[in-house]
Amino acid sequence: MKPVWQIVGERPWLGWLLFLGTVAAVFAVGVLSASLIERKREGRLAFQQSVEIGDLESDSSVWGRNYPREFETWQKTLDGSFESKHMGSRAIDVLALDPRWVVLWAGYAFSRDYNQARGHMHAVEDVRKTLRTGVPQPGTCWSCKSSDVPRVMNEMGVANFYKAKWEELGPKIKNPIGCLDCHDPKTQDLRISRPALVEAFQERGEDIGKARHQEMRSLVCAQCHVEYYFKGEGKYLTFPWKKGFAAEDMEAYYDEVGHTDFVHALSKAPMLKPQHPDWELFQTGIHAQRGLACADCHMPYEVEGGMKFSSHHVVSPLANIGQTCAVCHRESEDTLRQNVYERQDKLREMLSRAQDALVAAHIEAKAAWDAGATEAEMTPALTAIRHAQWRADFVAASGGAAFHAPVESARLVTSSLDKAAEARLLLARILAAHHVTQPVPLPDLSTKEKAQTFIGFDFAAERAKKEEWTKTVLESWGK
Amino acid sequence: MKPVWQIVGERPWLGWLLFLGTVAAVFAVGVLSASLIERKREGRLAFQQSVEIGDLESDSSVWGRNYPREFETWQKTLDGSFESKHMGSRAIDVLALDPRWVVLWAGYAFSRDYNQARGHMHAVEDVRKTLRTGVPQPGTCWSCKSSDVPRVMNEMGVANFYKAKWEELGPKIKNPIGCLDCHDPKTQDLRISRPALVEAFQERGEDIGKARHQEMRSLVCAQCHVEYYFKGEGKYLTFPWKKGFAAEDMEAYYDEVGHTDFVHALSKAPMLKPQHPDWELFQTGIHAQRGLACADCHMPYEVEGGMKFSSHHVVSPLANIGQTCAVCHRESEDTLRQNVYERQDKLREMLSRAQDALVAAHIEAKAAWDAGATEAEMTPALTAIRHAQWRADFVAASGGAAFHAPVESARLVTSSLDKAAEARLLLARILAAHHVTQPVPLPDLSTKEKAQTFIGFDFAAERAKKEEWTKTVLESWGK
């Protein structure tokens, strides 16, 4: 057999044939690829055009006809199997898990009933069920629960929405948190649908319209997963960010405007109740510092039928370590999970110390009042209690605090403990001045029932009232 | 011009020539490479064989003839320019930087004089200079200061070394920490030269001889950079690791064996003084959990003249971010430095709260004694002070705690604050029982001088005594 170069050398036309043949084949592959990409794009466009989505379409299933993958993963937020497996029940009763909270929130609705939040699709169902509603509440409480909110706000005006009665708006609100809350129906761009976040940026002299796409992938979450309060008579939803995003900045803001969420039933301290400063605390941690957005870990990319999309099953990243942590970290799933658990365990221990000190402080303050202490004597101790509980609860209420920002969380809990200790020391001196020199006995807080009995809340009676309300009021709202 | 294949096709011998020529050229490159590699190896071997190093050779410059790169970088530990630039002085006076430590260590040598450790080459010089020596001290204090220690221990026996007087051993100890402390003179393998670490492993039922190479790259440091105490009359150097490596484990060990480092001059509390539990605390942090050893960041690899070697200029990794952090992390040097500083700042804030509480607790305890409190009344408060200070000081004394293990450090500081607060509350009740209901006034601790005056330590007089000692005793030791 002759070598190749000799065969080609003898027939120059064969060299040209090989060359031109290769050019033709590469061209054909290019055309084919472009056609496949185009077809994929057309497939997506075809979906996008199959249904016209209205400007205020609150029914996510309508959007779902164009975006089946996003819709189907969103529907998985009904599924609590991850939470159930890892946290022990579908709806975790925070008060049963740690009855000290009953005492810490005595005099406020959170001491009645407080379950860990479930998936987005449960939002309306859960807010209807809780014992925190049914008692008089403003319309503001609906703000974060439903994709019907933009429509109802549009109908009645934002300020009127907030100051309406919660029960009055009930029949209009049926759809849980869904597509319209974060997306533009025409372009599917991320979009802020709630005025409070836009107004909070304005108040800080910033324009949220200039946010980058990656920032928007957190800011749509920050419409709800933030600290807020109901301002003034109109119960106007307001984020206390004027002085900054740190717990101390918001504390200073509340002190300055003189806001108090509730007066504590035992200590009479003017208390603040943090909501869920998830976004704010996340910003102080290493993952945000490295440029990650909420969606990077809570809505990871998936691939299905050749299409890449962001999962709308918003859940703990630990439910999908392979799609979340493992994108950057090379350790085993088990190692990464243990790293998270270790931070949680250590922070829980720290928080527990602050909680113990705070429970004692409230009870000792009550003893001081009972012993005849005056308001002038009590004020410094009550202010210390206010600040101490704000800081510990800020961390406890912030979802994922121990992972999002373990060092900042630890710093806040330590400052809480310090202020709670200061309060107890002041109270010990007040008590001594009123001839109480023995330690004030602490109650048995081993169960939620015992804790609620201690603060004088009749859970069974309130549950019965709520059932009556469910039958009379709630059923009149329709499905 | 004809195409190449045609020229070759017409002269088949040319094809063979090209083919064989290529084979020959590749062979020649291979031979040359092997020769270069071999020469490099020979160069290293030549160094290794140029001087025979004795079994107990404590003079690092002898080793340096065979290992010039390691020796020259080790000599850089004399250079304090990084520390000077980043921490403000060549020898940081911890007591001047934070005079609260003077009160916290009242009754113990650390309240006299305490400078931040400098590089390894300063070890002998600095231990001679400090006001903590010259007062009677056991030989044990030399254990970690010099590569002469293995030789002197070999001459006189380990137990005799420890129980000798510090001054008696002084003339025999001249070389600072050097090669012999961590290396086998024959093989250069990492080797444990000090008995205390080997014995601590034995006490735990473990064999340090089975440690992997990567573990040894931390364990040679753990000969000294650990918590230890001087056990019993013989002042036998002992690591308190029998129950574990956590601060609480060592605390439980000390409680069980009834060890006390000093009785506090103000509070009379039976105190523990942590030394420098660097290795123990590092193990609890993410970098150790990811498999890093001390040497990975403190002795990074360098390349010089084509030779790769581990720098023996042991220093903060921040002095060489490019060779340390940047090996794994892709962020800018400035970002990485700020990440470290942020952890340090936050931990410093937490620690400061614990220090304040502890200073007050000691002073309030003194006031309680002065008011006539009994030992039975005081014991629970003094135990709380003992445990509180142990935990805060454990973190403060551990080099790099805020970076090595920020969450574990925070956990310990929070538990310290909790126990200090408990002590203060107990003391407030004791004081009230003895008719002291007003807050105990706290002194001005704004400078080291004021703090030392407050605890009754005459720095100037002690400095003069030390100078006298330097002239009489130290000069008799020779250079």
Residues 285-304, chain B, touching A (beta carbon < 8 A): 286, 289-290
| A434 in B contact zone (CB under 8 Å) | no
Type of residue found at B370: D
CA B276 to chain A, closest CA, distance in angstroms equals: 22
Contacts A–B by Cβ distance under 8 A: 119
A289 contact residues in B (CB cutoff 8 A)? 335, 339
Mean pLDDT for A28-33 is 87
Based on the domain organization, do B225 and B356 belong to the same domain?
Answer: yes
For residue A459, give its domain range.
60-476
| C-beta atoms of A429 and B424 within 8 A | no
Retrieve residue A210's tokens. 């200039």
CA A285 to chain B, closest CA, distance in angstroms equals: 10
pLDDT tier, B38 (very low <50, low <70, confident <90, very high otherwise): confident
Q: Is residue B55 part of a domain?
A: no
Q: How far apart are CA A451 and CA A457, in angstroms?
A: 9
| Euclidean distance between the first and the last CA atom of chain A, given in angstroms as a whole number | 85
Weakest mean pLDDT among A35-44, A219-228, B92-101, B229-238: A35-44
| A231 in B contact zone (CB under 8 Å) | no
- Look at residue B47 in the predicted model and tell me its pLDDT: 53
Q: Is residue B54 part of a domain?
A: no
3-state SS assignment for residue A118? coil
| B339 in A contact zone (CB under 8 Å) | yes
A14 contact residues in B (CB cutoff 8 A)? none
Mutate to test the interface with B, among A16, A17, A417, A436 (most CBs of B within 10 A): A417
Q: Measured between CB atoms, which of A12, A346, A357 is closest to B408?
A: A346
| C-beta atoms of B9 and A10 within 8 A | yes
- Look at residue B430 in the predicted model and tell me its pLDDT: 97
Indicate if the pLDDT at residue A381 is higher than 80.
yes
B8 contact residues in A (CB cutoff 8 A)? 5, 9
| C-beta atoms of A8 and B5 within 8 A | yes
| B421 in A contact zone (CB under 8 Å) | yes
Indicate if the pLDDT at residue A92 is higher than 70.
yes
CA angle A246/A247/A249 to nearest 5° reads 65
pLDDT tier, B44 (very low <50, low <70, confident <90, very high otherwise): low
Residues 51-110, chain B, touching A (beta carbon < 8 A): none
Based on the domain organization, do A358 and A411 belong to the same domain?
Answer: yes
Beta bridge partners of B308: B303
- pLDDT tens digits, one per residue of A340-377: 999 999 999 999 999 999 999 999 999 999 999 999 99
- Look at residue A87 in the predicted model and tell me its pLDDT: 60
- Look at residue B48 in the predicted model and tell me its pLDDT: 56
CA A103 to chain B, closest CA, distance in angstroms equals: 20
Based on the domain organization, do A9 and A103 belong to the same domain?
Answer: no
Q: How far apart are CA B362 and CA B376, in angstroms?
A: 17
Mutate to test the interface with B, among A425, A434, A436 (most CBs of B within 10 A): A425
Three-class secondary structure assignment of chain B: CCCHHHHHHHCHHHHHHHHHHHHHHHHHHHHHHHHHHHHHHHHHHHHHHHCCCCCCCCCHHHHHHHCHHHHHHHHHHHCCHHHHHHHCCCCCEHHHHCCHHHHHCCCCHHHCCCECCCCHHHHHHHHHHCCCCCCCCEHHHHCCCCCCHHHHHHHHCHHHHHHCEHHHHHHHCCCCCCHHHCECCCCCCECCCCHHHHHHHHHCCCCHHHCCHHHHHHHCHHHCCCCCEEECCCCEEECCCCCCCCHHHHHHHHHHHCCCCEECCCCCCEECCCCCCHHHHHCCCHHHHCCCCHHHHHCCEEEECCEEEECCCCCCHHHHCCCCHHHCCCCCHHHHHHHHHHHHHHHHHHHHHHHHHHHHHHHHHHHHHHCCCCHHHHHHHHHHHHHHHHHHHHHHHCCCHHHHCHHHHHHHHHHHHHHHHHHHHHHHHHHHHCCCCCCCCCCCCCCHHHHHHHHCCCHHHHHHHHHHHHHHHHHHCCC
| C-beta atoms of B353 and A418 within 8 A | yes
B428 contact residues in A (CB cutoff 8 A)? 425, 428-429, 432
| C-beta atoms of B428 and A432 within 8 A | yes
CA A313 to chain B, closest CA, distance in angstroms equals: 30
Q: Is residue B139 part of a domain?
A: yes
Q: Measured between CB atoms, which of B6, B335, B415 is closest to A353?
A: B415
- Look at residue A86 in the predicted model and tell me its pLDDT: 65
Q: Chain A residue closest to B328 (CA)?
A: A329
Q: Is residue B52 part of a domain?
A: no
Mean pLDDT value across chain A = 93
- pLDDT tens digits, one per residue of A93-112: 999 999 999 999 999 999 99
CA torsion sign, B26 to B31 to B36 to B41?
positive
Q: What angle, 0 to 180 degrees and rounded to 10, lies between the N-to-C axes of helices B247-257 and B375-397?
A: 140
Based on the domain organization, do B38 and B146 belong to the same domain?
Answer: no
If you search the block for the tokens 């210390």, which residue do you land on? Answer: A384
Choose among B301, B294, B158: nearest CA to B231. Answer: B158
Based on the domain organization, do B140 and B39 belong to the same domain?
Answer: no
B353 contact residues in A (CB cutoff 8 A)? 414-415, 418
Based on the domain organization, do B15 and B77 belong to the same domain?
Answer: no
Mean pLDDT for B368-387 is 98
Q: How far apart are CA B132 and CA B95, in angstroms?
A: 13
What is the DSSP code string of A298-321? Answer: HS-EEEETTEEEE------GGGGT
CATH of the domain at A181: 1.10.1130.10
Based on the domain organization, do B31 and B118 belong to the same domain?
Answer: no
Mean pLDDT for B137-158 is 96
| Euclidean distance between the first and the last CA atom of chain B, given in angstroms as a whole number | 84
Based on the domain organization, do A306 and A334 belong to the same domain?
Answer: yes
Residues 438-457, chain B, touching A (beta carbon < 8 A): 438-439
Based on the domain organization, do A152 and A201 belong to the same domain?
Answer: yes
- Look at residue A439 in the predicted model and tell me its pLDDT: 95
Instruction: Let me know if A27 is exposed, middle or buried by CB neighbors in 10 A (0-12, 13-18, 19+).
Output: exposed
CA B209 to chain A, closest CA, distance in angstroms equals: 28
Indicate if the pLDDT at residue B32 is higher than 90.
no
Chain center to CA of A195: 18
Q: Measured between CB atoms, which of B5, B289, B425 is closest to A428?
A: B425
| A13 in B contact zone (CB under 8 Å) | no
Based on the domain organization, do A39 and A186 belong to the same domain?
Answer: no
Q: Measured between CB atoms, which of B12, B406, B425 is closest to A6?
A: B12
Where do the H-state alpha helices sit in A172-292?
A: 195-203, 213-219, 247-257, 278-283, 286-289
- pLDDT tens digits, one per residue of B427-467: 999 999 999 989 999 999 999 999 999 999 998 898 899 99
| Predicted TM-score of the model (pTM) | 0.91
Based on the domain organization, do B64 and B42 belong to the same domain?
Answer: no
| C-beta atoms of B339 and A415 within 8 A | no
A411 contact residues in B (CB cutoff 8 A)? 346, 349-350, 410
- pLDDT tens digits, one per residue of A427-454: 999 999 999 989 999 999 999 999 999 9
| C-beta atoms of A349 and B411 within 8 A | yes
Q: Chain B residue closest to A343 (CA)?
A: B407
A421 contact residues in B (CB cutoff 8 A)? 357, 417-418, 421, 424-425
- Look at residue B2 in the predicted model and tell me its pLDDT: 76
- pLDDT tens digits, one per residue of B174-217: 999 999 999 999 999 999 999 999 999 999 999 999 999 999 99
| C-beta atoms of B414 and A411 within 8 A | no
Chain center to CA of A64: 24
Q: How far apart are CA B163 and CA B150, in angstroms?
A: 16
A429 contact residues in B (CB cutoff 8 A)? 428, 432, 437-439
Q: How far apart are CA B308 and CA B328, in angstroms?
A: 18
Based on the domain organization, do B348 and B380 belong to the same domain?
Answer: yes
Indicate if the pLDDT at residue B94 is higher than 80.
yes
Beta bridge partners of A142: none
| A428 in B contact zone (CB under 8 Å) | yes
Q: Is residue A417 part of a domain?
A: yes
Q: Is residue B146 part of a domain?
A: yes
pLDDT tier, B306 (very low <50, low <70, confident <90, very high otherwise): confident
| C-beta atoms of A407 and B347 within 8 A | yes
Indicate if the pLDDT at residue A90 is higher than 80.
no
Weakest mean pLDDT among A380-384, B352-356, B465-469: B465-469
Q: Is residue A89 part of a domain?
A: yes
Q: Measured between CB atoms, which of B346, B411, B437 is closest to A408?
A: B346
Indicate if the pLDDT at residue A46 is higher than 60.
no
| C-beta atoms of A411 and B289 within 8 A | no
Choose among A471, A449, A468: nearest CA to A458. Answer: A449
Contact A267, A226 (CB under 8 A): no
Q: Is residue A317 part of a domain?
A: yes
**Domains contained in chain A, number:** 2
pLDDT tier, A130 (very low <50, low <70, confident <90, very high otherwise): confident
| B383 in A contact zone (CB under 8 Å) | no
Mutate to test the interface with A, among B407, B415, B419, B430 (most CBs of A within 10 A): B407
Indicate if the pLDDT at residue B91 is higher than 70.
no
Mean pLDDT value across chain B = 93
Phi/psi for A371 (5° steps) reads -80, 0
| B9 in A contact zone (CB under 8 Å) | yes
Q: What is the torsion angle, in degrees rounded to the nearest 10, for the CA atoms of residue A421, residue A427, residue A429 and residue A431?
A: -140
pLDDT tier, B37 (very low <50, low <70, confident <90, very high otherwise): confident
Instruction: Let me know if A274 is exposed, middle or buried by CB neighbors in 10 A (0-12, 13-18, 19+).
Output: buried
| C-beta atoms of A410 and B407 within 8 A | yes
Instruction: Let me know if B181 is exposed, middle or buried by CB neighbors in 10 A (0-12, 13-18, 19+).
Output: buried
| C-beta atoms of A9 and B10 within 8 A | yes
The HSE-up count of residue A425 (CA atoms within 13 Å, CB side) is: 24
| B165 in A contact zone (CB under 8 Å) | no
